[in-house]
Structure 1
Amino acid sequence: MKITILNGNPYEDNKTFESYLDEVALALDDLGLDVITVTLRDKNIHSCTGCWGCWVKNPGECSIPDDSGEIRDKIIHSDLIIFASPLIMGFTSALLKILQDKLIPLIHPYLEIVNNEIHHQKRYDQYPGLALLFQPEPETDDEDIQIVTDIYHRFSINFKSELLFSKSIETPIEKLVNEIIHYQR
């Protein structure tokens, strides 16, 4: 299984978050899984301008040259993507949101009806499963977690995928790893 962890932590000095991600990646690697961690704060990713060049001018490719193309390639060739971020003002980091916006080239501009909703058509035959791993803020409550989880669930539908889990870094690593290794899409 090929897993890509998208580290959306903007704070290099957040050692609690960084060490948890490192331990998860190491535990998965020790089981023989192919794990890649992409630290978004170290990448040059520009915001989507909504030019739609990725659909019209250069289908499947962003018109803005940056590191998002390399990341999209890793994503589409993975079995599971873990979006990882501390919660900041109740949501995942801007780094993660900017990257999510830059994933639109991975779907077609053409629309279809799915479960009585309008969604974009697939560009690829298969998409990776998605998961959310977050570090709660001190005041994070169950409602905050449900809102973030619901948004990522909706993202997974639009991404032709499914949300495997939404977990806090307070989850024991063994439990998290066990859930990942039993995932099949």
Structure 2
Amino acid sequence: MKSLILDGRSELDNSEIQKLHDIILKELKKNQCYVNDIPLREKNIAPCQGCFDCWVKTPGICKIDDYGRIIAEQIVKSDLVIHLTPITFGGYSSELKKAMDRTISLVLPFFKVVDGEIHHKQRYSTHPCLIVIGYQNSPHLEFEETFHTLVHRNVLNMEAAFYKSLVVNNKQDLSKFQADFQNCLEEVKYHNK
């Protein structure tokens, strides 16, 4: 299984989130996954310009020639995408958000109705499973709820066969996270048969 980690940590993030990263790598390797681990903070990714050239002038390809193009390409080629991010006021880190914005090229400029809501049509017929892991230094219920809602709403446009959002804080035992992540991988394997 091809897995892609989009690591949204900054240089300032603490060692606890590094422990999550280490567990993720260990479990993926234990499951014999091919791992493409991208530390976004080390990549040159410009913000999306909102020009929609990737829809109308160069379909599926962003006009900005930087690492954002590679990320979109790697997502399409993956069976599983993992987002690792500190939670910022219930949202993603700026590094992860910037990378995610640049993946708008993966959907079409056409719309469809899903459960009474308007969503983008997909450019590609297959979609990776998604596991989104958010880290908080201390528990904050409102930020956690916002994070889960944000992930759910993003997944509606991604059409992932399976997704799970996990929130971890420094008060939790990492063995619980490891067990939760293992369960997610089992679900991903089921959906990638």
- Does TM, scored on the shorter chain, surpass 0.5? yes
Counterpart for residue 126 of structure 2: 126
1:77 correspondence with 2:77: yes
Partner Cα distance (2:46, 2:56) in 1 = 19
Aligned residues: 184
Partner Cα distance (1:125, 1:163) in 2 = 15
2:181 alignment partner, one of 176, 180, 185? 176
Give the share of equivalent positions with the same residue, in percent: 31
Q: 1:54 to 1:146 in 2, by over 3 A?
A: same
Matched to 1:146, the amino acid is E
Counterpart for residue 159 of structure 1: 158
Partner Cα distance (2:154, 2:184) in 1 = 21
Which digits, 9 at most, give the CA deviation of each residue in 1:37-80, with x for residues without a partner?
11100110000011111011110000111101111111111111
Which digits, 9 at most, give the CA deviation of each residue in 1:93-133, with x for residues without a partner?
01111111101000100111122111111100111111210
Cα drift, residue 162 of structure 1: 5.1
Matched to 1:153, the amino acid is H
Structure 1 contact 152–163 (Cα < 8 Å) conserved: no
Partner Cα distance (1:51, 1:173) in 2 = 41
SS of residue paired to 2:56: coil
Q: 1:156 to 1:108 in 2, by over 3 A?
A: same
Partner Cα distance (1:30, 1:12) in 2 = 29
Counterpart for residue 22 of structure 2: 22
Q: Which of the two has greater helix per residue? A: 2
Counterpart for residue 115 of structure 2: 115
Runs of 5+ in structure 2 lacking a partner?
none
Q: 1:143-154 alignment to 2 at 5 Å?
A: 143-154=142-153
Report the aligned-residue RMSD: 1.7
Structure 1 contact 6–82 (Cα < 8 Å) conserved: yes
Partner Cα distance (2:23, 2:114) in 1 = 38
Structure 1 contact 60–105 (Cα < 8 Å) conserved: yes
Runs of 5+ in structure 1 lacking a partner?
none
Q: 1:5-44 alignment to 2 at 5 Å?
A: 5-11=5-11, 14-44=14-44
SS of residue paired to 1:125: coil
Structure 1 contact 156–162 (Cα < 8 Å) conserved: no
Query: What's the TM-score once normalised by structure 1's chain length?
Result: 0.91
Partner Cα distance (1:88, 1:137) in 2 = 11
SS of residue paired to 1:29: helix
Partner Cα distance (2:110, 2:163) in 1 = 26
Partner Cα distance (1:116, 1:21) in 2 = 38
1:97 correspondence with 2:102: no
Structure 1 contact 9–85 (Cα < 8 Å) conserved: yes
Query: What's the TM-score once normalised by structure 2's chain length?
Result: 0.88
